[in-house]
Amino acid sequence: MKYLLIEDNAELANAICSRIRLDGHVIDHADKIDTAIGFSQAGEYDLILLDIMLPDGDGRSFLRAHRDAGNDTPIIVLTARSQVSDRISMLDLGADDYVTKPFDHAELQARCRAVLRRKTGSIQTVHRFGDVTFDPVAGHLSVRGQTLNLRNRELRLLEQLIRAPGQIFSKQKLFDRLFSYDDDVSENAIEVYIGRLRKHLDGTSVTISTHRGLGYRLDHD
């Protein structure tokens, strides 16, 4: 999963980013609305964590503009405002949930998981495709009863492909999903991770096919 955090408190932002990355996800951090708009226009995110009080404006203006543009990316508001009227107004503007500061990071992570489950319309996290079973939460790939532990980016790459089997993903698209703006890597890194996944899937009915000039696709016999 790829997150966008919009938060101007550097200490809190660093703590949130560290926890999200420990869970194996990718996260970009913006400390003001203008930066967040640039990120959201340039990339695709699974979830946005949005502070309200920001140096260049009110986070609710970002939320309103995001929804008015037809963007349905789930948004969890991080707010110090505890009055019921404030929470209702944010939900009415299109927020999917809110967390009141200060909060426990375990609660924030649980709310993220709940919002993402609602977004996909399922509580099922295990993917079965061909003769392989993939559990992105546990990080396990099961091949003919044998469980393989995947490295973080192998895990996230397979998760992206297996969520839409038969769909061709460009190298740029996969790169955007696996790396944040702060990562200093080349787009060719995708070829390395594709190669590793192919080794894991060797001998199964599942393959990753290359479509020249287009990208990669997950198939099975």
List Cα–Cα distances, 147 to 30, 77, 134, 135, 158, in angstroms: 38, 38, 9, 10, 15
**Architecture label for domain 2-120:** 3-Layer(aba) Sandwich (3.40)
The domain limits of the chain are 2-120, 127-220
Kindly report, residue by residue over 138-190, the tens digit of the pLDDT: 778 898 778 888 888 898 899 899 988 999 999 999 999 899 888 888 888 99
- Spatial CB neighbours of 65, under 8 Å, sequence gap ≥ 6: 37
Give yes or no for a cis peptide into 74 (omega within 30° of 0): no
Mean of pLDDT values over 96-101: 92
pTM above 0.85, yes or no: no
2-120 and 127-220, same CATH topology? no
Average of pLDDT values for 50-64? Answer: 92
Task: Say whether pLDDT at 97 is over 90.
Answer: yes
Pick from 40, 41, 34, 53: nearest CA to 4: 40
- E strands, the chain, are 2-6, 26-30, 47-51, 53-54, 57-58, 75-79, 97-100, 127-129, 132-135, 140-143, 146-149, 206-211, 215-220
**Is the pLDDT reported for residue 13 higher than 80?**
yes
Angstrom CA distances, 57 to 1, 46, 62, 146, stand at 28, 24, 9, 52
Banded model confidence at residue 120, pLDDT cuts 50, 70, 90: low
Where does the pLDDT of residue 198 fall: very low under 50, low under 70, confident under 90, or very high at 90 and above?
A: very high
The answer, yes or no, to whether residue 81 has pLDDT greater than 80, is no
Residue 121 has what pLDDT? Answer: 61
Measured over the CA atoms of residue 201, residue 207, residue 208 and residue 209, the dihedral's sign is: positive
Q: If one looks up domain 127-220 in CATH, what number appears? A: 1.10.10.10
Q: Give the closest residue to 75 by CA, choosing from 112, 121, 34.
A: 112
pLDDT of residue 68 exceeding 70, the answer is yes
User: For the chain, first and last CA: distance in Å?
Assistant: 28
pLDDT confidence band for 54 (50 / 70 / 90): very high
Comparing 47-51, 90-94, 120-124, the range with the smallest average pLDDT is: 120-124
Share of the chain above pLDDT 90, in %: 58
Tell me the residue type at 124. Q
